[in-house]
Structure 1
Amino acid sequence: MKVLFKNYIDTFGGLSKEVWWLALITLINRAGTMVIPFLSLYLTTSLDFSFSQVGWIMSAFGLGSVAGSFLGGKLTDVFGYYKVMVFSLFTTGLLFIALQLMKTFTEFCVGIFLVMLVADMFRPAMFVALNTYSKIENKTRSVTLIRLAINLGFSAGPAVGGIIITTISYAGLFWVDGITCILATILLIFTLNPKKARILDSEVSESPVSAYKDKPFLIFLIAITLFAIVFIQYFSTMPLFYKEKANLTEFDIGLLLGLNGFLIFLFEMPLIKWLENSRYRFSILMMFGAAITGLSFVILLVSYWIGIILVGMLLMTLGEMIAFPFSNAFAMKRSKRGKQGQYMALYAVSFSVAHLVGHNLGLQMVNQFGFNTTWLFMGLLAALSAVLLLMLKKMTD
């Protein structure tokens, strides 16, 4: 056991102090974003919105995310990642607190759009910062550490969120989200000020390639967008499925989603280090991740039994652990061909587009055709993503 623990700790070796600070900032911020997993439940139970209305609100969520990612990438190339991150975190905190005041359908559409517009300016800036603070050989593990922080926060967030909902109210979630964003801003100012932080990778292309003309990168973006559309169902349609078909409570749902983050915290870094030393290319590993995630939906066609639901969650977790770190590392590596803000903005936009399309698509499909047809469709989308990633391998060989 002692040797096993030492080997686990060794997988974190060699990462810079700045990457660890960035991970802690992300952990504090992500632990507070407990509104998002419960958003569809809040809208249907507290505000009495229909599935169709929730779908359109999620589209406003996605539209704000798309605009914020584009804007964040542009501002990062102009002003630098530090200023963008500080502005995004602090302003998002204020907007989250104000969001609880939005009660009508129109108000909430506008409110969630503004929250995501500002919040997702953070992502391309954070990716560029991560690239800057990481040695070339540590890129994938640096990404994985950030994901561990995200998932550790996510494992605690929903569980605590479920307790807050049952003991206080949904309003408490908005306050926690806002305060944690502001706390993360304060930590960022004290630890990652450019005057103090060490730059480990300052490589810039002297003849930059436009990301819009990089055909393999565009194929990659399409594949990742399809994968993300499938993946985000776990944060909109899946909680509704858990409640309506599996008869789980908000607390149960929080624990189930928290299990995903806890497993990633325990196993992702050793898995990534092992896969990095394997003979598989990034594109093939991403393809495996997409296929496994698709299977996590298809298996739900078998039964609503909690055992099957747990297997589905485990499959999704494994697929996520493989696909996301290597997709992020692929994008960071490819960004060296041009302006990093532009490349990383488009990578962030792929997830924003997924939010824009995926939540509404899933909710409308559930409303019109039911959960089983929706899960089958998501499995097919994941298969298409895997095929595109196989094409990417052939293009980059």
Structure 2
Amino acid sequence: MTMLRIFIVVLVCSLFNGHEALKCMTCQGSTSFEECDVNGQIRECMPNQNSCETVVRRMQKERQLIFKQCKEQSACNMNQLQNTRLSGRSKQCNSDQTSSFCTCCCDTDICNIAAATCHSAIVQPLPGNNCPSQPKNIPHGEITCYNGNKPGSVCQYKCSDVNYFVYPFGQETNVCRNNGTWEHETPCCGRNCPPYLVYDFGCVFHVSIPGGRERIVSIFKGFFEVDIVAEDSVKVSLVFFGDTPIESSVIKFNEYETSKVRFIELVRERAVEKPKGSVNLGAAIKFALDNLMTPEAGVRNERVQKAISIFTDHAADDDAIAAANEVRKRGYTVFLYYMGKAVSNADREQFNQIANGEDYVFFYDEAAGNFGVESGQFLKDNFCTQPCDHVVHEHDST
């Protein structure tokens, strides 16, 4: 038995001596990377410790502790995966909170010396299934993945264009889990909405009240103060109507080159006050569909949401409800803005049926000189909840 024990010891020692041990910088609780590297020690790791681990623990904005050590590879990788776990308003490893806990792994000699950059550290694949491949990039941004789509890989998302941010917030990184799924869906580079509301509005106007032209100008000025008019944001077209649509009043999407000043000039030039005849709103809606909401008039492709916005001071004399239903069949929204003074219950019911419902009907506030805050708030609450929907790709303006 004694000879057998000696043989086993010799065999184990020979195996250990044949393995070239990983060397890591080690320190415990240093207050900076410089202090750690000056006062720490470079140690040979045990045979089962094939990763160098760096832990950065921040308790306050100005106070942090650094720990460096040898670590078993799968344990280090699992610790590093915790970096992107939700904590507070962002992640466990963060730069926007008073406390943070970051783990970084690498697997070459003394690879954990100096400052740690977790996402550029070598990430060894964990046992498991590959995740679906990430796209090469996202509109207005880029994706960098360390170790592709293998388990344990970390992908980082960054927006490269001005005014864009990664949305949903706090999802700047993504981890491939060992069950073959990403921690979350690929985010987008979005923008604040408002002022960036990607929508094509075709407007129809009937104004018979005194001073109607300036009231319309005032409405658009207020709208333009909230929303940006641009090829990658809001665009507007319009037509005035009475018993028939007034073709000389048409302003197309592509007529003013997204200049707010030029648009207001065109409104003043072409606005028709007190049009003659009946209020044939249904005919005006059909005209807008056939002549404003077309590629020739500058409407954008199907990715951009669209609406017909009706501004009137009188109930419709023709079948505007049928015309509005045709609008909805195309997937467009119908808004109605009433500019008159008094409204009967019958007219109110007609307006609700023309628009997409009661919530889509707004009434002019004489005291405020506009349609009130509820109109803008409604747009924000119903159309700005998903910034990813308000991102125009390069091909979307055609």
TM range (shorter): under 0.3
TM-score, with normalisation over the residues of structure 2?
0.23
Larger Rg: 2
TM-score, with normalisation over the residues of structure 1?
0.23
Structure with the higher strand share, 1 or 2: 2
Larger RCO, structure (CA 8 Å, separation 6 or more): 1
